[in-house]
């Protein structure tokens, strides 16, 4: 991520998705404590990435190049959220297709709105045995393998490793399952069929700022889950708390930036709730920004806010 690019999160996003409506004027994606006024209250917001390690130089350079190409006439600023495991094409034609998909999605958005860029991909289904009526799946369809049970004749394997994020509309998954089931009917043991599909990346047009930032983790990076996540959370809270406590503010917020395909099932909230409550002394809210949305994880003080912030 650029260490200098300043962007503004839309106040509407906070008013709708943070129960306390903690609107802020702007923040630095590289990490900073920003003060702002909202509803007569002074806010101090610390923004911290959950990524444990600095990404490889080559990955970050490719990410920055992609952001520069995708920005187009981005005014105001733009965020592109790569879903976990997603890779940028290594060749120029492939990169051009991804950039085109992102720009087409952005052109449909008004400032303050989020949408989805649809990237063409291919899924493969192979028949492995005549017995049974089920499938196993690698990739994005792995959690949905049970939807194929008793709908296929035989045992099949699905390669959906190019699918990293499904859209919000459940009808798309229904159609994808139907297409794979239909493809399976023409296969003999050992044969493979391919089904065209779309990988949906979240894009966000901001209400302020300038330029474009692409947020993503190198493939294989598991630092935002499990034990590495818990260690990162403890270190982050410990490190930012003194500066937040010293900030001249009525409300102190820790905003964590994570790289998750959706807010559903995010692991950060459960990990925080398992930590020592004393670690959060002096903080008011802990929230997560991921996949173009913001969610309150901990409302620590349960303060009553003015009507303008409720």
Average of per-residue pLDDT across 65-92: 83
Q: Are residues 127 and 187 in the same domain?
A: yes
In a shared domain, residues 152 and 230: no
Determine phi and psi for 262, rounding to 5 degrees: -165, 170
**Do 308 and 258 share a structural domain?**
yes
| Distance (Å, whole) CA 121 – CA 256 | 31
Distance CA 40, CA 305 (A): 10
> Alpha-carbon torsion 276, 278, 283, 285, what sign?
positive
Number of structural domains (the chain) is: 2
* Strands 32-38 and 41-49, sheet pairing: antiparallel
Residue 80 included in any domain: no
In DSSP terms, 189 is beta-bridged to none
Least confident of 8-17, 83-92, 209-218: 8-17
* Residue-level pLDDT at 274: 85
Q: How far apart are CA 13 and CA 42, in angstroms?
A: 18
pLDDT at residue 75, as a whole number: 59
My answer on whether 196 and 226 are in the same domain is: no
Specify whether 238 is located in the same domain as 307: yes
User: Do 287 and 257 share a domain, yes or no?
Assistant: yes
Whether residues 248 and 310 fall in one domain? yes
In a domain, 84, yes or no: no
**Alpha-carbon distances of 310 from 21, 63, 92, 135, rounded to whole Å:** 6, 38, 48, 48
Same domain, 292 and 237: yes
Give the sign of the dihedral formed by CA 47, CA 48, CA 54, CA 58. negative
Buried residues in 164-194 as b, exposed as e (16+ CB within 10 A): bbbeeeeeeeeebbebbbebbeebeeeeebe
Answer yes or no: do 254 and 182 share one domain.
no
Q: pLDDT tens for residues 15-60?
A: 333 322 223 333 444 456 766 666 667 778 888 888 876 777 788 8
Q: What are 148-165's pLDDT values in tens digits?
A: 999 999 999 999 999 999
| The model's pTM | 0.82
106 found inside a domain: no
206 assigned to some structural domain: no
Distances (CA, A) of 60 to 3, 56, 191, 216: 12, 6, 39, 9
Whether residues 240 and 310 share a domain: the answer is: yes
Q: Is residue 306 part of a domain?
A: yes
Helical (H) or strand (E) element with 202: strand 192-205
Residue 274 and residue 231 share a domain: yes
36 is a domain residue: yes
Assess if residue 64 is contained within a domain: no
Structural domain includes residue 273: yes
Residue 155 domain boundaries: 120-200
Among 200, 229, 254, identify where a domain stops.
200
**299 and 226 in a common domain:** yes
Which tens digits make up the pLDDT trace of 103-140?
999 999 888 788 999 999 999 999 999 999 999 999 99
The mean pLDDT of the chain is 81
């Amino acid at each position: 991520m650029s260490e200098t690019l300043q962007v503004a999160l839309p106040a509407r996003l906070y008013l709708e998705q943070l129960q306390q409506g903690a609107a802020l004027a702007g923040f630095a994606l590289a990490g900073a404590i920003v003060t702002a006024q909202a509803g007569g209250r002074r806010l101090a917001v610390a923004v911290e990435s959950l990524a444990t390690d600095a990404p490889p130089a080559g990955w970050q350079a490719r990410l920055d190049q992609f952001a520069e190409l995708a920005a187009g006439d981005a005014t105001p600023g733009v965020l592109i959220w790569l879903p976990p495991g997603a890779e940028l094409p290594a060749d120029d034609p492939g990169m051009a297709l991804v950039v085109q998909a992102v720009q087409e999605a952005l052109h449909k958005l008004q400032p303050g709105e989020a949408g989805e860029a649809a990237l063409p991909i291919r899924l493969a289904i192979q028949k492995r045995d005549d017995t049974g009526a089920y499938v196993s799946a690698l990739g994005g369809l792995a959690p949905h393998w049970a939807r194929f049970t008793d709908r296929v004749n035989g045992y099949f394997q699905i390669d959906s490793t190019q699918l990293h994020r499904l859209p919000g509309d459940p009808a798309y998954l229904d159609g994808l399952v139907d297409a794979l089931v239909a493809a399976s009917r023409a296969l003999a043991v050992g044969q493979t069929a391919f089904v065209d599909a779309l990988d949906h990346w979240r894009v966000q047009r901001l209400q302020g700022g300038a330029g474009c930032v692409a947020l993503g983790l190198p493939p294989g990076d598991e630092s935002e889950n499990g034990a590495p996540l818990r260690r990162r959370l403890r270190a982050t809270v410990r490190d930012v708390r003194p500066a937040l406590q010293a900030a001249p503010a009525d409300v102190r917020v820790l905003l964590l930036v994570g790289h998750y395909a959706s807010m559903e099932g995010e692991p950060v909230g459960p990990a925080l709730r398992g930590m020592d409550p004393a670690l959060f002394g002096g903080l008011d809210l802990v929230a997560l920004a991921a996949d173009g949305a913001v969610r309150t994880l901990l409302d620590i003080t349960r303060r009553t806010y003015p009507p303008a912030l409720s």
